[in-house]
Amino acid sequence: MSGKQRYSIASAIAVAAAALTAAACGAPGASSPSSGGSASSGAAAGPIKIAVVDAQSGSSSDLGQFEWRGVSLAVKQANAAGGVDGRQIHLTLYDDQGDPTVGTELARKIASAGDIAMFGTAESAVTVAMAPILKSEKIPNITSGQSTQLTDLKSPYLFLNGPTGVTYDSTLANYVVKTKGYKKIAMLTNNDSYGAGEDKAFTTALKGLGITPLASKVVPADQTNMTPALTAIRGTNPQVLFIGAEEAQSGLIVKQARALGMTAVIAEGAPAGTPLYLSTAGIANANGTIVSSPYLGNDASAAAQKFAAAYTGAYGSAPELHGAKAYDGAQIMISALKACNACTGLPLANAIRAVHYAGLLGNFAYNGSGVGIFATAIGIVTDGKIKPIG
Protein backbone atom coordinates (compact mmCIF):
# COMPACT_ATOMS: atom_id res chain seq x y z
CA MET A 1 0.00 0.00 0.00
CA SER A 2 1.45 3.39 -0.98
CA GLY A 3 1.84 6.35 1.38
CA LYS A 4 -0.86 8.25 -0.51
CA GLN A 5 -3.31 5.35 -0.04
CA ARG A 6 -2.51 5.13 3.67
CA TYR A 7 -3.13 8.88 4.02
CA SER A 8 -6.50 8.58 2.22
CA ILE A 9 -7.62 5.74 4.42
CA ALA A 10 -6.54 7.53 7.59
CA SER A 11 -8.38 10.67 6.49
CA ALA A 12 -11.54 8.72 5.79
CA ILE A 13 -11.40 7.06 9.21
CA ALA A 14 -10.86 10.42 10.90
CA VAL A 15 -13.83 11.97 9.09
CA ALA A 16 -16.03 9.00 9.98
CA ALA A 17 -14.96 9.18 13.62
CA ALA A 18 -15.74 12.89 13.73
CA ALA A 19 -19.18 12.30 12.21
CA LEU A 20 -19.95 9.56 14.71
CA THR A 21 -18.84 11.77 17.58
CA ALA A 22 -21.08 14.59 16.39
CA ALA A 23 -24.06 12.23 16.09
CA ALA A 24 -23.48 10.83 19.56
CA CYS A 25 -23.73 14.31 21.02
CA GLY A 26 -27.38 14.41 19.97
CA ALA A 27 -29.34 15.57 16.97
CA PRO A 28 -29.99 19.28 16.62
CA GLY A 29 -33.06 20.31 18.62
CA ALA A 30 -33.37 17.01 20.61
CA SER A 31 -33.92 17.55 24.31
CA SER A 32 -31.74 15.72 26.78
CA PRO A 33 -33.81 13.38 28.88
CA SER A 34 -31.32 13.48 31.76
CA SER A 35 -31.74 17.19 32.40
CA GLY A 36 -33.84 16.41 35.48
CA GLY A 37 -37.09 17.02 33.75
CA SER A 38 -39.11 20.03 33.01
CA ALA A 39 -41.66 21.29 35.49
CA SER A 40 -43.49 23.19 32.83
CA SER A 41 -43.27 22.80 29.12
CA GLY A 42 -45.48 25.71 28.26
CA ALA A 43 -42.88 26.85 25.78
CA ALA A 44 -42.73 23.38 24.12
CA ALA A 45 -44.75 22.79 20.99
CA GLY A 46 -45.62 19.76 18.90
CA PRO A 47 -46.96 16.41 19.98
CA ILE A 48 -46.28 14.77 23.33
CA LYS A 49 -44.27 11.68 22.48
CA ILE A 50 -44.92 8.53 24.50
CA ALA A 51 -43.54 5.07 23.82
CA VAL A 52 -45.48 1.82 24.03
CA VAL A 53 -43.17 -1.14 24.48
CA ASP A 54 -44.73 -4.60 24.25
CA ALA A 55 -44.29 -7.91 22.50
CA GLN A 56 -45.74 -7.72 19.01
CA SER A 57 -44.12 -10.99 17.98
CA GLY A 58 -43.27 -14.18 19.79
CA SER A 59 -45.26 -16.06 22.39
CA SER A 60 -46.35 -12.97 24.37
CA SER A 61 -47.63 -11.06 21.37
CA ASP A 62 -51.27 -11.45 22.30
CA LEU A 63 -50.71 -9.66 25.63
CA GLY A 64 -48.79 -6.99 23.75
CA GLN A 65 -51.64 -6.46 21.35
CA PHE A 66 -54.19 -6.13 24.18
CA GLU A 67 -52.04 -3.50 25.90
CA TRP A 68 -51.45 -1.56 22.68
CA ARG A 69 -55.18 -1.46 21.99
CA GLY A 70 -56.09 -0.33 25.52
CA VAL A 71 -53.53 2.48 25.50
CA SER A 72 -54.37 3.53 21.93
CA LEU A 73 -58.06 3.81 22.73
CA ALA A 74 -57.46 6.07 25.74
CA VAL A 75 -55.06 8.29 23.80
CA LYS A 76 -57.38 8.49 20.80
CA GLN A 77 -60.22 9.62 23.06
CA ALA A 78 -57.98 12.20 24.76
CA ASN A 79 -56.71 13.56 21.45
CA ALA A 80 -60.26 13.83 20.12
CA ALA A 81 -61.12 15.92 23.19
CA GLY A 82 -58.26 18.33 22.49
CA GLY A 83 -55.22 16.53 23.87
CA VAL A 84 -53.14 17.97 26.71
CA ASP A 85 -52.76 21.75 26.73
CA GLY A 86 -53.76 21.71 23.10
CA ARG A 87 -51.01 19.25 22.22
CA GLN A 88 -51.80 15.84 20.75
CA ILE A 89 -50.29 12.71 22.26
CA HIS A 90 -48.26 10.71 19.78
CA LEU A 91 -47.68 7.04 20.55
CA THR A 92 -44.80 5.03 19.10
CA LEU A 93 -45.01 1.25 19.33
CA TYR A 94 -41.84 -0.76 19.92
CA ASP A 95 -41.67 -4.57 19.76
CA ASP A 96 -39.72 -6.04 22.69
CA GLN A 97 -40.37 -9.59 21.41
CA GLY A 98 -40.92 -10.64 25.04
CA ASP A 99 -37.14 -10.57 25.45
CA PRO A 100 -35.50 -8.66 28.34
CA THR A 101 -32.36 -8.02 26.27
CA VAL A 102 -34.35 -6.44 23.46
CA GLY A 103 -36.20 -4.47 26.14
CA THR A 104 -32.98 -2.91 27.42
CA GLU A 105 -32.01 -1.92 23.88
CA LEU A 106 -35.42 -0.31 23.43
CA ALA A 107 -35.08 1.57 26.74
CA ARG A 108 -32.02 3.29 25.34
CA LYS A 109 -33.73 3.83 22.02
CA ILE A 110 -36.80 5.55 23.45
CA ALA A 111 -34.60 7.79 25.57
CA SER A 112 -32.70 8.98 22.51
CA ALA A 113 -35.93 9.24 20.48
CA GLY A 114 -37.29 11.85 22.90
CA ASP A 115 -40.22 9.87 24.33
CA ILE A 116 -41.13 11.43 27.67
CA ALA A 117 -42.92 8.42 29.14
CA MET A 118 -43.55 4.77 28.45
CA PHE A 119 -46.43 2.31 28.63
CA GLY A 120 -45.54 -1.38 29.00
CA THR A 121 -44.38 -3.91 29.11
CA ALA A 122 -46.87 -6.66 29.78
CA GLU A 123 -44.09 -9.01 30.96
CA SER A 124 -42.54 -8.34 34.35
CA ALA A 125 -39.17 -9.81 33.36
CA VAL A 126 -38.77 -7.34 30.49
CA THR A 127 -39.95 -4.39 32.60
CA VAL A 128 -37.54 -5.29 35.40
CA ALA A 129 -34.69 -5.30 32.87
CA MET A 130 -35.69 -1.90 31.46
CA ALA A 131 -36.37 -0.19 34.79
CA PRO A 132 -32.81 0.86 35.73
CA ILE A 133 -32.27 2.49 32.33
CA LEU A 134 -35.62 4.26 32.45
CA LYS A 135 -34.80 5.46 35.96
CA SER A 136 -31.46 6.89 34.90
CA GLU A 137 -33.13 8.52 31.87
CA LYS A 138 -35.95 9.82 34.10
CA ILE A 139 -38.72 8.31 31.97
CA PRO A 140 -41.89 7.45 33.94
CA ASN A 141 -43.26 4.03 33.05
CA ILE A 142 -46.71 2.54 33.67
CA THR A 143 -46.52 -1.24 33.33
CA SER A 144 -48.99 -4.13 33.22
CA GLY A 145 -46.62 -6.44 35.07
CA GLN A 146 -47.63 -7.64 38.52
CA SER A 147 -44.50 -9.26 39.91
CA THR A 148 -43.22 -8.03 43.27
CA GLN A 149 -39.79 -7.84 41.60
CA LEU A 150 -41.12 -4.59 40.11
CA THR A 151 -42.07 -3.07 43.44
CA ASP A 152 -38.84 -4.28 45.04
CA LEU A 153 -36.97 -1.95 42.66
CA LYS A 154 -38.54 1.03 44.47
CA SER A 155 -38.04 3.17 41.39
CA PRO A 156 -39.80 6.55 41.62
CA TYR A 157 -40.45 6.24 37.86
CA LEU A 158 -42.19 2.84 37.83
CA PHE A 159 -45.94 2.39 38.32
CA LEU A 160 -48.19 -0.67 38.06
CA ASN A 161 -51.60 -0.43 36.39
CA GLY A 162 -52.98 -3.28 38.47
CA PRO A 163 -52.50 -5.06 41.78
CA THR A 164 -49.43 -7.16 42.53
CA GLY A 165 -49.44 -10.95 42.38
CA VAL A 166 -49.49 -11.03 46.18
CA THR A 167 -52.86 -9.23 46.19
CA TYR A 168 -54.34 -11.56 43.57
CA ASP A 169 -53.24 -14.68 45.39
CA SER A 170 -53.94 -13.69 48.99
CA THR A 171 -57.51 -12.76 48.00
CA LEU A 172 -57.85 -16.08 46.18
CA ALA A 173 -56.37 -18.13 49.04
CA ASN A 174 -58.66 -16.46 51.57
CA TYR A 175 -61.72 -17.27 49.49
CA VAL A 176 -60.72 -20.86 48.74
CA VAL A 177 -59.72 -21.75 52.32
CA LYS A 178 -61.77 -19.52 54.60
CA THR A 179 -64.94 -18.99 52.60
CA LYS A 180 -65.23 -22.29 50.76
CA GLY A 181 -63.47 -24.42 53.37
CA TYR A 182 -61.19 -26.30 50.94
CA LYS A 183 -58.13 -27.83 52.56
CA LYS A 184 -56.75 -30.22 49.93
CA ILE A 185 -55.06 -27.96 47.43
CA ALA A 186 -52.53 -28.80 44.72
CA MET A 187 -50.52 -26.35 42.62
CA LEU A 188 -49.26 -26.33 39.05
CA THR A 189 -47.21 -23.34 37.88
CA ASN A 190 -44.79 -22.60 35.07
CA ASN A 191 -41.18 -21.57 35.44
CA ASP A 192 -41.21 -18.10 33.85
CA SER A 193 -41.19 -14.96 35.99
CA TYR A 194 -44.99 -14.86 36.17
CA GLY A 195 -45.39 -18.50 37.15
CA ALA A 196 -42.54 -18.38 39.64
CA GLY A 197 -44.11 -15.31 41.24
CA GLU A 198 -47.49 -17.03 41.44
CA ASP A 199 -45.94 -20.12 42.98
CA LYS A 200 -44.26 -18.05 45.69
CA ALA A 201 -47.24 -15.76 46.37
CA PHE A 202 -49.87 -18.51 46.59
CA THR A 203 -47.68 -20.82 48.66
CA THR A 204 -47.04 -17.95 51.09
CA ALA A 205 -50.74 -17.12 51.25
CA LEU A 206 -51.63 -20.77 51.95
CA LYS A 207 -48.95 -21.04 54.66
CA GLY A 208 -50.43 -17.99 56.33
CA LEU A 209 -53.72 -19.89 56.50
CA GLY A 210 -52.06 -23.02 57.86
CA ILE A 211 -52.35 -25.02 54.61
CA THR A 212 -49.55 -26.99 52.94
CA PRO A 213 -50.19 -27.92 49.28
CA LEU A 214 -50.66 -31.64 48.58
CA ALA A 215 -48.46 -31.28 45.50
CA SER A 216 -46.64 -28.43 43.80
CA LYS A 217 -45.48 -29.13 40.27
CA VAL A 218 -43.64 -26.86 37.84
CA VAL A 219 -43.69 -27.06 34.03
CA PRO A 220 -41.65 -25.12 31.47
CA ALA A 221 -43.45 -22.01 30.19
CA ASP A 222 -43.63 -23.38 26.65
CA GLN A 223 -44.63 -26.91 27.64
CA THR A 224 -47.68 -28.20 25.81
CA ASN A 225 -48.01 -31.67 27.36
CA MET A 226 -48.90 -31.19 31.02
CA THR A 227 -50.36 -34.70 31.38
CA PRO A 228 -47.35 -36.14 33.25
CA ALA A 229 -47.47 -33.39 35.90
CA LEU A 230 -51.27 -33.61 36.11
CA THR A 231 -51.11 -37.39 36.47
CA ALA A 232 -48.92 -36.97 39.55
CA ILE A 233 -51.29 -34.34 40.95
CA ARG A 234 -54.33 -36.51 40.22
CA GLY A 235 -52.84 -39.16 42.50
CA THR A 236 -53.13 -36.79 45.48
CA ASN A 237 -56.87 -36.34 44.87
CA PRO A 238 -57.02 -32.58 45.47
CA GLN A 239 -60.22 -30.58 45.95
CA VAL A 240 -58.65 -27.52 44.30
CA LEU A 241 -56.01 -27.11 41.62
CA PHE A 242 -54.29 -23.72 41.67
CA ILE A 243 -52.75 -22.75 38.32
CA GLY A 244 -50.00 -20.15 37.86
CA ALA A 245 -49.43 -19.81 34.13
CA GLU A 246 -50.35 -17.53 31.26
CA GLU A 247 -53.74 -17.64 29.56
CA ALA A 248 -53.15 -20.22 26.83
CA GLN A 249 -51.10 -22.60 28.95
CA SER A 250 -53.64 -22.33 31.78
CA GLY A 251 -56.38 -23.27 29.37
CA LEU A 252 -54.37 -26.26 28.16
CA ILE A 253 -53.76 -27.36 31.75
CA VAL A 254 -57.48 -27.32 32.46
CA LYS A 255 -58.31 -29.11 29.20
CA GLN A 256 -55.78 -31.86 29.89
CA ALA A 257 -56.79 -32.12 33.56
CA ARG A 258 -60.41 -32.74 32.60
CA ALA A 259 -59.31 -35.26 29.97
CA LEU A 260 -57.58 -37.13 32.77
CA GLY A 261 -60.84 -37.22 34.70
CA MET A 262 -59.79 -34.67 37.32
CA THR A 263 -62.78 -32.96 38.89
CA ALA A 264 -60.86 -30.57 41.16
CA VAL A 265 -62.06 -26.97 41.24
CA ILE A 266 -59.68 -24.73 39.29
CA ALA A 267 -58.47 -21.57 41.04
CA GLU A 268 -56.39 -18.91 39.37
CA GLY A 269 -55.55 -15.24 39.16
CA ALA A 270 -55.92 -12.84 36.27
CA PRO A 271 -55.35 -15.20 33.30
CA ALA A 272 -58.49 -17.20 34.09
CA GLY A 273 -60.59 -14.09 33.63
CA THR A 274 -59.80 -13.76 29.92
CA PRO A 275 -61.50 -15.01 26.73
CA LEU A 276 -58.20 -16.62 25.72
CA TYR A 277 -58.32 -18.93 28.75
CA LEU A 278 -61.96 -19.81 28.10
CA SER A 279 -61.42 -20.61 24.43
CA THR A 280 -58.32 -22.73 25.07
CA ALA A 281 -59.81 -24.65 27.98
CA GLY A 282 -63.21 -25.02 26.43
CA ILE A 283 -66.20 -23.51 28.19
CA ALA A 284 -67.42 -26.80 29.64
CA ASN A 285 -64.01 -27.44 31.21
CA ALA A 286 -63.57 -23.86 32.42
CA ASN A 287 -66.97 -23.60 34.12
CA GLY A 288 -66.61 -23.45 37.89
CA THR A 289 -63.16 -21.81 37.79
CA ILE A 290 -62.60 -19.47 40.74
CA VAL A 291 -61.02 -16.29 39.40
CA SER A 292 -59.27 -13.58 41.37
CA SER A 293 -59.24 -10.46 39.24
CA PRO A 294 -59.90 -6.74 39.61
CA TYR A 295 -61.79 -6.79 36.26
CA LEU A 296 -64.52 -9.39 36.26
CA GLY A 297 -65.84 -8.75 32.81
CA ASN A 298 -67.26 -6.16 30.48
CA ASP A 299 -70.66 -6.18 32.19
CA ALA A 300 -69.30 -5.64 35.69
CA SER A 301 -70.13 -1.92 35.78
CA ALA A 302 -71.50 0.89 33.66
CA ALA A 303 -67.94 2.16 33.10
CA ALA A 304 -66.85 -1.31 31.93
CA GLN A 305 -69.78 -1.50 29.52
CA LYS A 306 -68.95 1.93 28.08
CA PHE A 307 -65.28 0.98 27.73
CA ALA A 308 -66.19 -2.35 26.13
CA ALA A 309 -68.49 -0.67 23.62
CA ALA A 310 -65.79 1.82 22.61
CA TYR A 311 -63.13 -0.92 22.41
CA THR A 312 -65.32 -3.25 20.37
CA GLY A 313 -66.22 -0.40 18.04
CA ALA A 314 -62.57 0.44 17.52
CA TYR A 315 -61.12 -3.07 17.18
CA GLY A 316 -63.97 -5.43 16.36
CA SER A 317 -63.44 -7.66 19.37
CA ALA A 318 -64.39 -7.44 23.04
CA PRO A 319 -61.79 -6.29 25.56
CA GLU A 320 -60.50 -8.23 28.52
CA LEU A 321 -58.44 -7.59 31.66
CA HIS A 322 -55.18 -6.60 29.94
CA GLY A 323 -56.86 -4.07 27.69
CA ALA A 324 -58.75 -2.64 30.68
CA LYS A 325 -55.54 -2.34 32.74
CA ALA A 326 -53.75 -0.61 29.90
CA TYR A 327 -56.69 1.76 29.41
CA ASP A 328 -56.65 2.69 33.12
CA GLY A 329 -52.88 3.19 33.01
CA ALA A 330 -53.16 5.48 30.02
CA GLN A 331 -55.94 7.51 31.63
CA ILE A 332 -53.77 7.97 34.73
CA MET A 333 -50.86 9.18 32.59
CA ILE A 334 -53.12 11.60 30.71
CA SER A 335 -54.52 12.94 33.99
CA ALA A 336 -50.98 13.49 35.29
CA LEU A 337 -49.90 15.26 32.10
CA LYS A 338 -52.90 17.57 32.33
CA ALA A 339 -52.23 18.30 36.01
CA CYS A 340 -48.60 19.28 35.44
CA ASN A 341 -49.03 20.96 32.03
CA ALA A 342 -47.27 18.21 30.08
CA CYS A 343 -44.22 18.12 32.31
CA THR A 344 -41.50 15.49 31.99
CA GLY A 345 -39.04 13.59 34.15
CA LEU A 346 -39.40 13.53 37.93
CA PRO A 347 -42.18 16.17 38.00
CA LEU A 348 -44.24 13.90 35.71
CA ALA A 349 -43.54 10.90 37.93
CA ASN A 350 -44.64 12.89 40.97
CA ALA A 351 -47.77 14.00 39.11
CA ILE A 352 -48.63 10.35 38.36
CA ARG A 353 -48.19 9.49 42.02
CA ALA A 354 -50.53 12.34 42.96
CA VAL A 355 -53.35 11.13 40.68
CA HIS A 356 -56.44 9.64 42.32
CA TYR A 357 -58.33 7.83 39.60
CA ALA A 358 -61.54 5.80 39.67
CA GLY A 359 -60.79 3.26 36.98
CA LEU A 360 -62.15 0.08 35.47
CA LEU A 361 -60.09 -1.96 37.94
CA GLY A 362 -60.96 0.13 41.00
CA ASN A 363 -59.73 3.26 42.75
CA PHE A 364 -56.08 4.09 42.11
CA ALA A 365 -53.90 5.92 44.65
CA TYR A 366 -50.19 5.23 44.28
CA ASN A 367 -47.79 4.50 47.13
CA GLY A 368 -44.03 4.91 47.16
CA SER A 369 -43.47 1.49 45.57
CA GLY A 370 -45.54 2.29 42.48
CA VAL A 371 -48.60 0.23 43.44
CA GLY A 372 -51.90 2.06 43.05
CA ILE A 373 -54.56 -0.55 43.64
CA PHE A 374 -54.68 -3.05 46.47
CA ALA A 375 -57.71 -5.25 45.98
CA THR A 376 -59.12 -7.79 43.59
CA ALA A 377 -62.51 -9.43 43.40
CA ILE A 378 -63.59 -13.05 43.21
CA GLY A 379 -65.69 -14.37 40.35
CA ILE A 380 -66.79 -17.83 39.24
CA VAL A 381 -66.85 -18.86 35.58
CA THR A 382 -70.46 -19.76 34.83
CA ASP A 383 -71.66 -20.67 31.34
CA GLY A 384 -68.53 -19.12 29.88
CA LYS A 385 -68.90 -15.81 31.68
CA ILE A 386 -67.42 -14.60 34.94
CA LYS A 387 -70.01 -13.93 37.60
CA PRO A 388 -68.92 -11.98 40.69
CA ILE A 389 -69.67 -13.88 43.88
CA GLY A 390 -72.52 -12.59 46.00
Partner 1 sequence: MQSFFQTLVSGLSFGAVYALVALGFSLVYRTMGLVNFAHGQVLTIGAYVASTFYLSARLPFAVAVPAAMVLTGAIGLVIERVLRPLENKDFDLMLIGTIGAGTVLEAAAILIWSSSGRGVSSPVRTAPLVIGGVRIPPYDLLVIAVTAVAMVALTLFLQRTKRGAAMQAVAMDHEAATAVGIHVGRSNAISFAIGAALAALAGALVGPMLYVSPTMGDSLGIDGFAAAILGGFGSIPGAIVGGLGIGVIGSFAAQWFQGYSDLVTFVVFTVLVMIRPTGIFGERTVNRA
Q: Which residues bind partner 1 (CB under 8 A)?
A: 56-59, 61-62, 64-66, 190-191, 217-220, 222-229, 231-232, 235, 248, 251-252, 259-261, 276, 278-282, 317
Nearest-10 crossing angle of helices 193-208, 165-173: 40
Task: List 380's β-bridge partners, or say none.
Answer: 290, 387
For partner 1, give the closer residue by CB, 256 or 331: 256
**Rounded to an integer, what distance in angstroms lies between the CA atom of residue 58 and that of residue 64?**
10
CB of 8 to partner 1, least distance (A): 34
Quote the least distance from Cβ 101 to partner 1, whole Å: 18
- Closer of 278 and 352 to partner 1 (Cβ): 278
In 3D space, the residue among 161, 158, 147, 143 whose CA is nearest the CA of residue 64 turns out to be 143
CB closer to partner 1, 148 vs 216: 216
CB of 86 to partner 1, least distance (A): 35
Sheet containing strand 377-382, edge to edge, reads 215-219, 185-190, 240-244, 265-268, 290-293, 377-382, 385-388
Parallel, antiparallel or unpaired: strands 141-143 and 117-120 = parallel
Instruction: Look at the chain and count its residues.
Output: 390
What is the spatial distance between Cα 344 and Cα 7, in angstroms, rounded to a whole number? 48
Q: Is the peptide bond before 227 cis (omega within 30 degrees of 0)?
A: no
Who's near 136: CB < 8 A, 6+ residues apart? Answer: 34
Q: Residue 59 or 239: which CB sits closer to partner 1?
A: 59
The nearer residue to partner 1, 54 or 115, going by C-beta atoms, is 54
Which residue, 167 or 280, is less far from partner 1 as judged by CB? 280
Minimum distance, C-beta of residue 224 to partner 1, in the bound complex (Å)? 5
Q: What is the Cα Rg of the chain in Å?
A: 23
- Residues 164, 388, 237, 245: is their CA dihedral positive or negative? negative
DSSP notation for 230-249: HHHHHTT--SEEEEES-HHH
Closest C-alpha to 361, from 167, 200, 126 = 167
The minimum distance between CB 147 and partner 1, in angstroms, equals 17
Query: One-letter amino acid identity for 290?
Result: I
- Angle ∠(384,386,390) on CA atoms, nearest 5: 135
Smallest gap from residue 24 Cβ to partner 1 (A): 32
SS3 45: coil
CB of 100 to partner 1, least distance (A): 17
| C-beta closer to partner 1: residue 73 or 116 | 73
> Which of residues 258 and 353 has its CB atom nearest to partner 1 in the complex?
258
User: Is the peptide bond preceding residue 236 cis, with omega within 30 degrees of 0?
Assistant: no
CB of 259 vs partner 1, minimal distance in Å: 5
Nearer to partner 1, 231 or 350 (CB): 231
Give the separation between CA 390 and CA 385, rounded to whole angstroms.
15
Q: How far is the CB of 98 from partner 1 (least distance, A)?
A: 10
